[in-house]
Structure 1
């Protein structure tokens, strides 16, 4: 058993603390964010921090780490073009996707270096990942600075959706992530497949059946 207060957490060995805090929140979506600069240099990077921010208007956000000392090509390209793509990591490409986290020079395309295929769609400047079954085109809306750790929250509006397999979504717009072969990430380098356990009706306070404690 492990029980830690704030002082004990702060004193943990650095690598142990990084792994613990990164994985303690559970499985997060695995996504590849595709960008391109004005010179045509493509970039692809894996993120586990993509999250839904709102449906009307359709907004999705992600967190990018501090850029004071290490160049963040994804952020630089988004600031240049205001365009980027979000692509689900599929289960048969997790190694390729993971390798995009390596520190490549700006002129090196992670698509080529990690054996993934860029794909372009009309009216979206940034490249998509052809191997992904769910592709989302984004336009930059806002960037919020997080003072606590100097990260940034990049907020974008969905301007394009491409779901390559009709069996992945139902007539209500619900997406089956298991059918899409989408994957999740825990910590910095552990990958998980999704299994759909149930689809439950919207909870109504005046009409609920609460399961008994086990």
Structure 2
């Protein structure tokens, strides 16, 4: 298949959305937990989380235009806090179902059968079943004029992950946490046979960490 921009624009809307979402490759599958001003909980699956920097630890979400009600965006702007929860292989079905359009007064946690996990020191709900959980504080919000989407930038102020997936150098083995990846809008993948590469240096050939002879 070879398509020019005019041919892409002419595609049926849902077909085009599936195609363009798929060509970006594997993406993180995360559940975003929020509450509104009345502490009604909300949960939504998103795959647009992007690392912006490590000091301070900033992550960005791209959210769809608010031409229809966007409960997650509204809640983040109202409370200034939200959670990021990795989707695990054991609850893909429930996580995917949070994409359905439930009324504002219905909690997706209850609707799909996922547990709310609260901490006394954080004002938004985590997913009980998630093994990797981040507490986020809103730091910036930029409506994007180019297509009406919203860029939401948050700082990691709370981090929880299994000891088994954390290496001595600070790197994280997400396969050990059973974190899944999302491709397109609806294809979920578990990582298999992950390969870790050493820091790239111009004077050395590529090296696999853990390979025979690696120091």
Structure 2 length normalisation: TM-score?
0.93
Contact 1:176-1:196 within 8 A present in 2 as well: no
**Alpha-carbon separation, structure 1, partners of 2:192 and 2:70:** 33
What's 1:133 paired with?
131
**Alpha-carbon separation, structure 2, partners of 1:196 and 1:33:** 28
Q: Aligned to 2:113, what secondary structure does the other structure show?
A: coil
What's 1:60 paired with?
59
Distance change >3 Å, CA 194–CA 209, structure 1 → 2: closer
What's 1:161 paired with?
159
Distance change >3 Å, CA 177–CA 207, structure 1 → 2: same
List alignment gaps of at least 5 residues for structure 2. Answer: 208-215
Q: Aligned to 1:127, what secondary structure does the other structure show?
A: strand
1:49-70 Cα offsets, whole Å, 9 max, x none, are 11111101100111110113x1
Contact 2:198-2:206 within 8 A present in 1 as well: no
Distance change >3 Å, CA 209–CA 190, structure 1 → 2: closer
What's 2:83 paired with?
85
Matched, 1:18 2:8: no
**Alpha-carbon separation, structure 2, partners of 1:77 and 1:94:** 24
What's 1:188 paired with?
185
Q: Aligned to 1:126, what secondary structure does the other structure show?
A: strand
Runs of 4+ residues over 6 Å off in structure 1: none
List alignment gaps of at least 5 residues for structure 1. Answer: none
What's 2:106 paired with?
108
Q: Aligned to 1:75, what secondary structure does the other structure show?
A: helix
1:96-138 Cα offsets, whole Å, 9 max, x none, are 0001011111111100000000001232100000100000000
Kindly state the Cα deviation for residue 206 of structure 1 after the two structures are TM-superposed.
2.4
